[in-house]
Structure 1
């Protein structure tokens, strides 16, 4: 057609949404068996031919080759063009064939086709192709007349069904997004990305096991970023609740002393959280000489204490909402490249607005870190976190766990009572970790111990807030006088009076089951 600048009446062209060809050539092929000599073909020969169409999405290269039915694909294409088809194709595209005739009646037959993405299409077995119908006076086969429309309708119906299923699957996936995800949700990872990042969650990448699941080290393929992937346990009854709490909390807390959450993933019943990777592990493996970690000197311990206190001050007073962490302990403090202490595991955390009264119906936390009023009323507050922080101060300064289990289940001694006894006897410096061997600022360590006793006071109104704690740590404000009268009590006795008599308590490392408790408070 001269109106569209066709080269002749028998040609091959590349057209994209237009009757004008990007490139065209007379019908033929380059014969590889004859030094690549071009051989003419005609589209009116009534002989079957093969056509190959290749498209490279990276370069936009389109190559079209044509040859007789029994000739292999020529190395040199008949016609080529460059065009970015992503500007033309919609999200859902159909691959198909169409034909048309001019002034002369003609028939077009598709004997077979193959299709592939990310690689060459599989070769067609010529021997299995149907034969072209006979031309002449003999009428066409009635079988062909019946079967061809049915086959075409079946293909169209199948393609339509597949497309409908894909759309429904996409909609069903989108409906997994809940309100809290839209408001707070950070970046959402695909399960495939996390599966490849951890090499299929193999045991050699396991960093540890907590009360709500396992943590794996991984490397994201695209960014090469090292991450820690927390896979929430299927057996955990509170798994979804803790998962949502952690996503909502950490996803909105940009602070250097809080472990950052890069994103999360939900796939059916599997729940995964993706954190920044802390190469130095958790604090408890340093305090209790696990995995051949070096002993922390006093300056390092004080630096970690200051960092955790700074993080607590942020979530208590500086963020737009108040976050109650509930579980501040050595196994939940992670160490970064610069030996900074970063508070993590917000799985038991709760949020509420500034100036409001938090409502809590469960006692949550770890034995040895629970404030007496939390056990009695089940009501958490910033001051219950201060109590937990006080136990943490004693743990890191003394190098001992909050509950001494050496004397057996029925004779457990709490660290806070042991330190308080030494304070009342005037021998507080004897409670400092003996492994420091004098390489310690004793006055500063004793100041931290006194602050730990003050924060762990059973009377909540006598505990300082985290802003005061920071002032005490910085030395800007002297500690109040702690008289023996104010310190003459037993925390273990108070807990036993609240119904915790002979309660079994254990404190494993980050590689074991975390000893957390969560139960309804009876109240008084």
Structure 2
């Protein structure tokens, strides 16, 4: 038996045996592994992230070169497996930690995940690549992924929200202690259990730190790659793998199958029916009649057939063009299925309305979904195609997940996961008026979630996505009151570092950046402005534009908060319905971040990545000027304000000549 290779079997270099395999690497060599991203091999030890003395963002992964048999489709049996490895998580700066490492099974050996909380596992810009089974060793507390603390082990399947987690500290183990930690991961298909053991020694503990009842057969391909990944974001944490052994235990033999006796099929051939001859005179009369009526009938049939075919061809061409784009994307629903699920699109099922059309509550296969239906097939087609082509390629925990679509019978329909708590706008302003405002921890978490997803859209996608309509009514709340950004009908794709394209101004008054109104150019900074207004709305509990309690004047939320800040009374902007039950430092931070993002000068607005770091205490809060920056210009637009508002907002003016003045 040779160390560092397969034990007890002969291996095809391109495929691992389906019966049984094992390897043992007391140290690592380049010929057996594929290194991606920032990973490296040095003196027989694998490093997964950059070794720098200054904080950085890094992501790396390592794959064993050969795919391993994990699932037998014919027998419907998953292979049991066991792995053991030793790792260090060290840090030159004890105050700079995160994010951790993971052991994973992946259907391919090419995916390199994003840095930060993604642990190098999740490349969220590529929908088809986000499949994995992983055990994470996480060293950062991340609310976006429902982490319990900054020292936990968890089982992840196609998501960074763990199915189950455990705290190694219960057995006296600190993941980022810098000590050599040995991990054992065992999965037994016959028991349906996955167990994780940890120890500072080479002796396997009696009790696992994590045990999960799970059947992996639905999550494993016939052949999978095994490996490790890790990531950092603004940290100097190091992730090193010192040794690794792995083995599978094959598949249970198939039981003899019983087959019914073969029954031969008999085909009875009927003799042809003879056609009797008629007289020549009868044939001549029939031929004369056909000669006159035939051409006329043929022309009529040809016209009808051509008209039907053209209409059908147009519909099929449209549908095919969409299907080609979405072969690997969301599910295609039938119109009949969606109509039935919404009780014929009955008015009692309407749960929302917008420029695109109505949103209906639907019951599909025992689950609740939301079906978005266009008002007009022609007018809504552009928005439909925009939303479908963009969001179908996106995956992020703070996005409303697209489940499917339908283009049939002249209808344009999108199917989304159902958000049980509705929109942030309704919860913040309507339901809260009944005495149920969002508690402060939820509000702060919403701010972090939105910053996270906008960072993803602006900087982590293959193509930058500009949403163009960031507002509270487009932020949905799931069962845990976590933020989910939706409504991509106005979104635009563009390559990174390219100049923005001038387009027709669209959006909602109160959330529109001044330069966007003036020039009609949507950029990531216009989204940042909208985010700033939303954050102020969440912290203050006021709408972007409100009428004074006494009088007819309209008050701009950004101006109002900036005025209090300039007078040293910024905490007076806090929502009175919170009754002072909030963390003062967090409140101050959110208000200042909101003002920074809503700065009239677009060049002074921070990036969403910087905002995300500030809210996660990874960067200092920006310095906000005491006096509101002044920006003034007037513009004559060939549109009324109603024309540039995307939704039915409470807007009472329709003047075409207006002035924007901040200061």
Return the alpha-carbon distance in structure 1 between the equivalents of residues 587 and 441 of structure 2: 10
Return the alpha-carbon distance in structure 1 between the equivalents of residues 460 and 641 of structure 2: 37
Closer, same or farther in 2 for the Cα pair 1:261/1:409, shift >3 Å?
A: farther
How does 1:456-471 map onto structure 2 within 5 Å?
A: 456-471=598-613
Match of 2:624 in 1: 482
Residue among 585, 591, 604 paired with 1:449: 591
Return the alpha-carbon distance in structure 2 between the equivalents of residues 389 and 466 of structure 1: 9
Match of 2:427 in 1: 286
Closer, same or farther in 2 for the Cα pair 1:483/1:355, shift >3 Å?
A: closer
Residue among 258, 264, 272 paired with 2:405: 264
Normalising by structure 1, we get a TM-score of 0.63
Return the alpha-carbon distance in structure 2 between the equivalents of residues 321 and 520 of structure 1: 35
- Greater shift, 268-277 or 414-423, is seen at 268-277
Match of 2:481 in 1: 339
How does 1:418-433 map onto structure 2 within 5 Å?
A: 418-433=560-575
Tell me the alpha carbon deviations over residues 68-98 of structure 1, each in whole angstroms, 9 at most, x when there is no partner: xxxxxxxxxxxxx898x9xxxxxxxxxxx96
3-state secondary structure, aligned to 1:374:
helix
Return the alpha-carbon distance in structure 2 between the equivalents of residues 236 and 408 of structure 1: 45
Distance apart, 1:379 and its partner CA: 1.1
- Greater shift, 227-236 or 412-421, is seen at 227-236
Return the alpha-carbon distance in structure 2 between the equivalents of residues 164 and 99 of structure 1: 39
Q: Which has the larger radius of gyration?
A: 1
Return the alpha-carbon distance in structure 2 between the equivalents of residues 450 and 165 of structure 1: 63
Return the alpha-carbon distance in structure 1 between the equivalents of residues 494 and 462 of structure 2: 9
Distance apart, 1:262 and its partner CA: 1.7
3-state secondary structure, aligned to 2:369:
strand
Match of 1:94 in 2: none
Structure 1: gaps spanning 5 or more residues: 1-80, 86-96, 109-138
Match of 1:371 in 2: 513
Distance apart, 1:386 and its partner CA: 0.6
Return the alpha-carbon distance in structure 2 between the equivalents of residues 330 and 262 of structure 1: 22
1:400 aligns with 2:542: yes
Residue among 204, 214, 225 paired with 2:348: 204
1:513 aligns with 2:655: no
How does 1:148-159 map onto structure 2 within 5 Å?
A: none
Q: Give the conservation status (yes or no) of the 8 Å contact 2:431–2:437.
A: no
Tell me the alpha carbon deviations over residues 8-58 of structure 1, each in whole angstroms, 9 at most, x when there is no partner: xxxxxxxxxxxxxxxxxxxxxxxxxxxxxxxxxxxxxxxxxxxxxxxxxxx
Match of 1:190 in 2: 334
Closer, same or farther in 2 for the Cα pair 1:444/1:177, shift >3 Å?
A: same
RMSD: 4.6
Distance apart, 1:374 and its partner CA: 1.1
Distance apart, 1:184 and its partner CA: 4.8
Task: Judging by fraction of residues, say which structure has more strand.
Answer: 2
Distance apart, 1:424 and its partner CA: 0.2
Match of 1:231 in 2: 373
Distance apart, 1:248 and its partner CA: 1.1
Closer, same or farther in 2 for the Cα pair 1:399/1:82, shift >3 Å?
A: farther
Tell me the alpha carbon deviations over residues 266-321 of structure 1, each in whole angstroms, 9 at most, x when there is no partner: 23543211111111111111111339583210000111111111111111011111
Return the alpha-carbon distance in structure 1 between the equivalents of residues 355 and 650 of structure 2: 7
Match of 2:4 in 1: none
Normalising by structure 2, we get a TM-score of 0.50
Closer, same or farther in 2 for the Cα pair 1:521/1:229, shift >3 Å?
A: farther
Q: Give the conservation status (yes or no) of the 8 Å contact 2:369–2:415.
A: yes
3-state secondary structure, aligned to 1:364:
coil
Q: Give the conservation status (yes or no) of the 8 Å contact 2:540–2:574.
A: yes
Closer, same or farther in 2 for the Cα pair 1:170/1:407, shift >3 Å?
A: same
1:249 aligns with 2:384: no
Q: Give the conservation status (yes or no) of the 8 Å contact 1:420–1:453.
A: yes
Distance apart, 1:260 and its partner CA: 1.3
Closer, same or farther in 2 for the Cα pair 1:276/1:495, shift >3 Å?
A: farther
Q: Give the conservation status (yes or no) of the 8 Å contact 1:310–1:470.
A: yes
Q: Give the conservation status (yes or no) of the 8 Å contact 2:333–2:406.
A: yes
Match of 1:349 in 2: 491
Q: Give the conservation status (yes or no) of the 8 Å contact 2:442–2:481.
A: yes
Return the alpha-carbon distance in structure 1 between the equivalents of residues 632 and 347 of structure 2: 39
3-state secondary structure, aligned to 2:499:
coil
Match of 2:85 in 1: none
1:301 aligns with 2:436: no
Return the alpha-carbon distance in structure 2 between the equivalents of residues 278 and 380 of structure 1: 28
Return the alpha-carbon distance in structure 2 between the equivalents of residues 269 and 409 of structure 1: 49
Structure 2: gaps spanning 5 or more residues: 1-262, 659-663
- Greater shift, 258-267 or 287-296, is seen at 287-296
Q: Give the conservation status (yes or no) of the 8 Å contact 2:543–2:557.
A: yes
Distance apart, 1:236 and its partner CA: 8.2
1:277 aligns with 2:422: no
Q: Give the conservation status (yes or no) of the 8 Å contact 1:378–1:521.
A: no
1:174 aligns with 2:309: no
3-state secondary structure, aligned to 2:319:
coil
Return the alpha-carbon distance in structure 2 between the equivalents of residues 163 and 429 of structure 1: 73
Return the alpha-carbon distance in structure 1 between the equivalents of residues 271 and 548 of structure 2: 87
Q: Give the conservation status (yes or no) of the 8 Å contact 1:215–1:228.
A: yes
Match of 2:559 in 1: 417
